[in-house]
């Protein structure tokens, strides 16, 4: 397990380069690690991806074994098509994995870094 690090604002290309170089040096030293970095241009972009309903969905998936999007919709008492759209958006952002084996969020926490 690991954390997902979100960066909001700043120079996304520069931050991505720094993250890559840091990971490269750690790998050269033989360190093993699993981390995920996601960058959002601004707060508006982040808010479009991480809505209140989607945060609720992420929280549920982190705490429960979810076998399918349909089962997730039922557990959350939400419409299947809306949950499916949310799962697709969150998977596209790298915050969920949806496969034939279920829906997973394989990280411990989401950390946010604000770049001004």
Question: Which tens digit of pLDDT belongs to each residue from 34-71?
Answer: 667 677 778 888 888 889 999 999 999 999 999 999 99
> The whole model's pTM is what?
0.71
Whichever domain contains 69, its CATH number is 1.10.10.10
Q: CA 112, CA 93: separation in Å to the nearest integer?
A: 15
Q: Domain range spanning residue 23? A: 3-114
């Amino acid at each position: 397990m690991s954390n997902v690090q979100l960066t909001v604002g700043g120079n996304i290309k520069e931050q991505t380069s720094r993250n890559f170089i840091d990971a490269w040096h750690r790998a050269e030293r033989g360190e093993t690690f699993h981390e995920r970095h996601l960058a959002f241009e601004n707060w508006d972009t982040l808010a479009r991806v991480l809505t209140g309903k989607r945060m609720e969905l992420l929280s549920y998936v982190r705490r429960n074994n979810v076998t399918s999007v349909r089962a997730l919709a039922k557990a959350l008492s939400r419409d299947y098509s809306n949950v499916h759209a949310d799962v697709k958006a969150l998977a596209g952002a790298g915050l969920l994995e949806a496969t034939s084996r279920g829906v997973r969020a394989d990280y411990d926490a989401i950390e946010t870094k604000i770049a001004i």
